[in-house]
Structure 1
């Protein structure tokens, strides 16, 4: 499977670290297994892209640069962040696929060969609308996405539901 993967799009909060809430750079901590998972992708030359909603930016609580610097330091090739609140009616806030579509166009990626890994229903819906495959991780808000919010993405089935990011990466590499 990994030979066909052109890129991985990975959510931040609840997927690589933190929890279901937003933790700003400086206080954000990677899950113990996340560093190993990200290094595995790099070892297999799979480009990593971060994509995340960060409404605190538009509220002046943190800067876009702080999020970008943090995510690039974790090994992501490129960072796509929606800085808007869901009430601002922007076109980039997940579950909109805009960040995924922009990245796939910029890097000339075949969306069918891209995988989204996230913990929220909005990650799954963005993947579906972008024509990408997806893996739901049970960390962060993953259990809620499978239960309370499953109705929001009922027409989309993830290719795998993983315990965490490392489980997702191992599954992708061994499928």
Structure 2
């Protein structure tokens, strides 16, 4: 595949024993992701992988030989957008999920970041990408 579809997600429930990493991997594969990067740590553990840190993005870039400046991060949390900004990826914030609270409750964390597109939902984000890059959709 020319452009891998990769998930990177904070899942502190794993370190709390509420779920397994494999359960998340299987669920995300069902959504169509080619690969998954999961931070199992609680925010108090101060690991390098937990967003807004960039560890998972860097690991994905190394594994898949990606130039993060040519990648797009679609997320619904302020930490997704901050991590993407740190590696200079294109940033799309979706309003669904935690997206609306990212805009309102975490405005201070995002106010100095240029968000490339504010999407109503994931479908809107993908359609915008197709239009922005003038990509023809496969039938």
Counterpart of 1:92 (choices 24, 29, 49) is: 49
TM-score, with length taken from structure 1: 0.72
CA distance in 1, matches of 2:100, 2:34: 28
Q: Which runs of 5+ in 2 are unaligned?
A: 133-139
CA distance in 2, matches of 1:142, 1:61: 24
Query: Which structure ranks higher in relative contact order (CA pairs < 8 Å, sequence separation ≥ 6)?
Result: 1
1:134 is the counterpart of 2:84: no
Q: Which residue of 1 aligns with 2:102?
A: 145
Instruction: Report the Cα offset of residue 46 of structure 1.
Output: 3.5
Q: Which runs of 5+ in 1 are unaligned?
A: 1-41
1:154 is the counterpart of 2:108: no
CA distance in 1, matches of 2:62, 2:119: 28
Runs of 4+ in structure 1 over 4 Å off = none
What CA RMSD, in Å, does the superposition of the two structures yield over aligned residues? Answer: 1.2
TM-score, with length taken from structure 2: 0.90
What is the DSSP-based 3-state SS (H/G/I as helix, E as strand, rest coil) of the residue aligned with 1:80?
A: strand
